[in-house]
A = this chain, B = another copy of it.
């Protein structure tokens, strides 16, 4: 039966030393403090035997840092964010950090709340896929001196670390690919959100079309209102396909739009790869398994997570000035 020890005091009492000594040993400062080998071993032995773990809360209160990174995304159940969450978790864990997460549902109000909540929890760093309108709140935490890394969503007016992908280029290449295939009636199915990411996805598409010299009318941009249910989206897209039967290529600007879109196409007599080329943003098993397989613009999850965590720890260790940096990673066009 091991001796229960609930606090550093118990350990100190058992070892007949002060809590100061125990604390130094626990924090690996025994050598620098010239604590005798005998004492170190005695204390360490008691700590091991008792299974004592320092109370992180007390430590946090004293030191001001929590070893926790706050992660704020739109929806943790979204495969993109879930994937990032997992990778961040792994990488943070290796450095002794844990992750606390929350979903904003793309609401600035909720984002503000979460930031405040995280602040009161003394998180050491923030990783945020921000909703529009959260600029002021994010500015505040930056001013607090805490590391902040934004990702996925770009907020142009904020001078802060950002990790994202080159959406313009991705859409541009997708559209170019359609054109090279000989397609002439391209459609972009996108969402009506006024966020940089989405705007760039449209701009890249439009630019490629413009460069091709196609008449404007030959290309079409459908903006599905944010929050439209899956059924309504499908109805809307089926209608579109019927009204524009000449459509021969579709780029879906988001993953969930692609899923609705594929379900919509199933309801028509259009055959993918025969009547219609399709490319979807954000790759997943779902596109690999689809018959036929669907080409996709794959965000480099691993690289994104790497860049985020690298930035976070750079800032946490605060070596040199905190150089603000925008990292733009390339999207991979996976043709199938």
Contacts and interface: CB of A to CB of B under 8 A. Distances in A.
A318 interface: no
Given A116-B53, A289-B263, A290-B289, A101 B99 contact: yes
A101 B266 CA distance: 38
A285 B288 contact: no
Contact of A76 (B58, B61, B82): B82
A99 B288 CA distance: 33
Q: How large is the interface on A (under 10, 10 to 19, 20 to 34, 35 or more residues)?
A: 35 or more
Copies of this subunit: 2
A167 B85 CA distance: 29
Contacts of A285: 259, 286
A21 B102 CA distance: 32
Contact of A83 (B54, B55, B77, B86): B77
A79 interface: yes
Contacts of A79: 77, 79, 82
Given A56-B122, A57-B121, A262-B289, A77 B68 contact: no
A313 interface: no
A146 interface: no
Contacts of A82: 76-77, 79, 82, 85
Interface of A: 53-58, 60-61, 66, 68, 75-77, 79, 82-83, 85-86, 89-90, 93, 98-103, 116-117, 119-122, 259, 262-263, 266, 284-286, 288-291
Given A90-B103, A262-B289, A289-B290, 6 more contacts: A53-B120, A77-B85, A79-B79, A89-B101, A89-B102, A289-B289
25 contacts: A53-B119, A55-B122, A56-B121, A57-B61, A57-B122, A68-B100, A75-B86, A76-B82, A76-B86, A77-B82, A77-B86, A82-B85, A85-B101, A89-B102, A89-B103, A90-B103, A93-B102, A99-B102, A101-B101, A259-B285, A263-B288, A263-B289, A284-B286, A285-B286, A289-B290
